[in-house]
Amino acid sequence: MQYKHDAQGYWKATLGLITKVLVIWFLVSFGAGILFADLLNGIHLGGYPLGFWFAHQGSIYVFIALIFWYAKKMGDIDREFDVHED
């Protein structure tokens, strides 16, 4: 694999990933859990109204998945730009 020694490229890739993470973070909590909760409450997930579920359960599950996904993707970017450790 061709390593790219490119600090600017690395930082650009990092910011791109962080932006994606923050967009999802915002959509599930502030979006689904607060701004659109009333709309989503019309849909039911078992006994849960969906907006309520996002505020009380769903956003937390997404946050966890999000952090591990971010950690894995960052690991990939680190290796691609040859700045990883070990």
Partner 1 sequence: MDLQTTIYLVVGASFALYIGIAIWSRAGSTSEYYAAGGGVHPVLNGMATAADWMSAASFISMAGLISNMGYGGGLFLMGWTGGYVLLACLLAPYLRKFGKFTVPQFIGDRFYSKSASTVAVLCLLVASLTYIIGQMTGVGVAFSRFLGVSSDMGIYVGMAIVFTYAVFGGMKGITYTQVAQYIVLIFAYVIPAIFISIALTGVPIPQLGLGANINGTDVSLLARLDQVITDLGFGKYTTTTAGSTLNMFVYTMSLMIGTAGLPHVIMRFFTVPNVAAARSSAGWALVFIAILYTTAPAVAAMARLNLHGTVNNAVGVQSDPAGGLKIDPAKVKANADPFAPEASLKYEERPDWMKRWEKTGLLKFEDKNGDGRIQYYNDKTKNEAAKAKFEAAGWKGNELTVNADIIVLANPEIALLPNWVIALVAAGGLAAALSTAAGLLMAISAAISHDLVKGVFAPNISERGELLAGKIAMACSIVVAGYLGLNPPGFAAGTVALAFGIAASSLFPAIMMGIFSKKMNKEGAMAGMLAGLFVTLFYVFAHKGIFFIKGTEYLNLIGGANSFFGITPEAFGAVGAVVNFIVAFVVDKMTKEPPEHIQHMVENVRIPRGSKAVDGAHAH
Query: Which positions lie near partner 1, rule CB under 8 A?
Result: 7, 10-11, 14, 17-18, 21-22, 25, 29-30, 33-35, 37-38, 41, 45-49, 52-53, 55-57, 59-61, 63-64, 66-68, 70-71, 74-75, 78, 83-86
CB-nearer residue toward partner 1: 2 or 62:
62
Q: How far is the CB of 77 from partner 1 (least distance, A)?
A: 10
Q: How far is the CB of 2 from partner 1 (least distance, A)?
A: 18
- In angstroms, the CA 77 to CA 86 distance is 14
CB-nearer residue toward partner 1: 2 or 54:
54
* Long-range CB contact pairs, 10-14, < 8 A, 24+: 10/77, 10/81, 10/83, 13/77, 13/80, 13/81, 14/74, 14/77
Let me know: does 30 contact 62? Beta carbons within 8 Å: no
